[in-house]
């Protein structure tokens, strides 16, 4: 049924492309036959249609860049703060909001699996699932370290601070891909959920943490009140992480996943978000950049996602470009 839905969507896109192209042809015919007074209005409408068609064509082209077996799957996104203390915890929370807003704009569903609030502000870690066609394929290039430069809202001296946070994206593996996990290879711990309290939240050991002993992979879930539901979600997350782990071992030439787990510090970032002394977001792998920082932080990631996928098709992109030019 999922494959059928995807094919039907592709057919609908093809019909929409033909319809819009036909509308533009009709506008050209009207412009040729119209009087000078009417031509201005028709040409303005024609320009709007051409821009809309160009944006639609870019969207379709982006979909053609997603051909991996796991690209159509849902995405599990994990965000961790790095060097910078409270600053980085606040930055990590900003990144979570950015990806959730992006998912909303794409018409995708999102669900928080694990959320560890920071002591003063921001988060210690967060894991959430974004559900929708090609969610993982679109977000796969977001794995890496993200760097923020801004005037600190937590510094009374209003000095400029640099903060780091890491993003890790893995596909949500469904039952069609078999991942064998032996019971004696996992350790399950239960603990009381953190949060603002409430019935069953802080009163029972409902949160679950699962450790895969051979690989050292750890996943946890505390979003549900039921320990059984949390365990089921944690096992699904573990299967996804193990799939990516095994895939990375087979693709030793690229090591896209393992090599992206660099120190969350200077020289390892994939993208800079600069709010001071100038305003710019720049991807250090593809050199895609924009001065509209607010739009990006509000979920406007499409230019960066498209730039990464195009660069990947044209011969690959480095995992990180290292430290960017001096900001001073």
Over the stretch 196-246, which tens digit does the pLDDT of each residue have?
Answer: 555 545 567 788 999 999 988 999 998 888 888 898 899 888 988 888 887
Q: Give how many domains the chain has, as a whole number.
A: 3
For the chain, where are the alpha helices, taking DSSP H only?
2-33, 36-64, 86-106, 135-139, 227-250, 293-297, 302-313
> Which phi and psi angles does 239 have, rounded to 5°?
-60, -40
* Same domain, yes or no: 142 and 286: yes
In a domain, 319, yes or no: no
- Looking up residue 235, the CATH number of its domain turns out to be 3.30.160.20
> Residues of the chain with pLDDT > 90: what percent?
42
Q: Which of 211, 230, 250 is the last residue of a domain?
A: 250
Question: Is 177 part of a structural domain of the chain?
Answer: no
Q: Residue 266: CB partners within 8 Å, gap ≥ 6?
A: 83, 162, 164, 323
Provide the pLDDT for residue 99.
Answer: 98
Q: Which of 198, 215, 250 is the last residue of a domain?
A: 250
**Same-domain check for residues 231 and 284:** no
22 and 101 inside one domain: no
Q: Is residue 328 part of a domain?
A: no
Q: What's the pLDDT score for residue 7?
A: 85
Residue 255 lies in a domain: no
Q: Is the pLDDT of residue 320 over 50?
A: no
Over residues 71-80, the mean pLDDT reads: 93
Q: Give me the pLDDT at residue 33, please.
A: 86
In this structure, are residues 274 and 326 in contact, taking their beta carbons and an 8 Å threshold?
no
Please check whether residue 322 lies inside any domain of the structure: no
Q: What is the pLDDT of residues 164-192, one digit of tens each?
A: 999 999 998 765 566 778 888 999 988 87
Each residue of 78-118: pLDDT tens digit?
999 987 788 999 999 999 999 999 999 999 999 999 999 88
Q: What is the per-residue pLDDT for 323?
A: 46
pLDDT for 101 equals 97
Q: 145 and 201 in one domain?
A: no
Angle subtended by helix axes 302-313 and 36-64, to nearest 10: 60
Give 17-54 pLDDT, tens digit per residue: 999 999 999 989 888 888 877 888 888 889 999 999 99
Q: Are residues 158 and 265 in the same domain?
A: yes
Q: What CATH number does residue 302 fall under?
A: 3.30.70.1660
Place of tokens 């990180």: 320
Please report whether residue 273 resides in a domain: yes
- Based on the fold, state whether residues 274 and 145 are members of the same structural domain: yes
Are 277 and 228 within one domain?
A: no
Q: Which residue has the higher pLDDT, 61 or 253?
A: 61
In this structure, are 20 and 150 located in the same domain? Answer: no
CA-wise closest residue to 163 among 86, 96, 270, 276: 86
Q: Tell me what pLDDT residue 128 has.
A: 96
The predicted model scores a pTM of 0.69
Average model confidence (pLDDT) for the chain?
A: 84
Last residue of a domain, one of 250, 279, 301: 250
Residues 81 and 120 in one domain: yes
- In-domain check, residue 157: yes
CB atoms within 10 A of CB 306: 19
Cα gap 235→209, rounded to integer Å: 10
SS3 101: helix
Asked if residue 283 belongs to a domain, the reply is yes
Q: How many CA atoms lie within 13 A of 190 on its CB side?
A: 14
Residues 47 and 16 in one domain: yes
Whether residues 214 and 282 fall in one domain: no
Confidence of residue 16 (pLDDT cuts 50, 70, 90): very high
**Residue 216 belongs to domain spanning:** 183-250
Residue 80 sits in the same domain as residue 156: yes
pLDDT in tens, 118-168: 888 899 999 999 999 899 999 999 999 999 999 988 877 778 889 999 999
């Amino acid at each position: 049924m999922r494959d059928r839905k995807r094919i039907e969507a592709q057919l609908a896109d093809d019909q929409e492309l033909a319809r819009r192209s036909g509308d533009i042809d009709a506008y050209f015919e009207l412009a040729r036959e119209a009087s000078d007074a009417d031509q201005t209005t028709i040409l303005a409408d024609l320009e709007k249609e051409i821009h809309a068609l160009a944006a639609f064509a870019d969207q379709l082209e982006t979909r053609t860049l997603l051909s991996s077996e796991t690209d159509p799957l849902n995405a599990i996104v994990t965000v961790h703060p790095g060097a910078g203390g409270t600053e980085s915890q606040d930055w990590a929370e900003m990144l979570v909001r950015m990806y959730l807003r992006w998912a909303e704009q794409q018409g995708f569903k999102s669900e928080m699996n694990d959320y560890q609030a920071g002591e003063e502000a921001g988060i210690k870690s967060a894991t959430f699932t974004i559900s929708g066609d090609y969610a993982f394929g679109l977000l796969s290039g977001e794995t890496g370290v993200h760097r923020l430069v801004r005037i600190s809202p937590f510094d009374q001296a209003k000095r400029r601070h640099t903060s780091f946070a890491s993003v890790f994206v893995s596909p949500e593996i469904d039952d069609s891909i078999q991942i064998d996990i032996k019971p004696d290879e996992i350790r399950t711990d239960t603990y009381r959920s953190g949060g603002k309290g409430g019935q069953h939240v802080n009163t029972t050991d409902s949160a679950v943490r699962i450790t895969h002993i051979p690989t050292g992979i750890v996943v946890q879930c505390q979003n549900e009140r039921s320990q059984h539901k949390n365990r089921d979600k944690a096992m699904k997350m573990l299967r996804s992480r193990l799939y990516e782990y095994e895939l990375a071992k087979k693709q030793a030439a690229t090591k896209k996943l393992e090599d992206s787990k660099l120190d969350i510090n200077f020289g390892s970032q994939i993208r800079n978000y600069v709010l001071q002394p100038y305003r710019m977001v720049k991807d250090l792998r593809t050199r895609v950049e924009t001065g509209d920082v607010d739009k990006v932080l509000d979920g406007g990631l499409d230019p960066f996602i498209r730039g990464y996928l195009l660069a990947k098709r044209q011969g690959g992109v480095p995992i990180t470009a290292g430290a960017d030019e001096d900001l001073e």
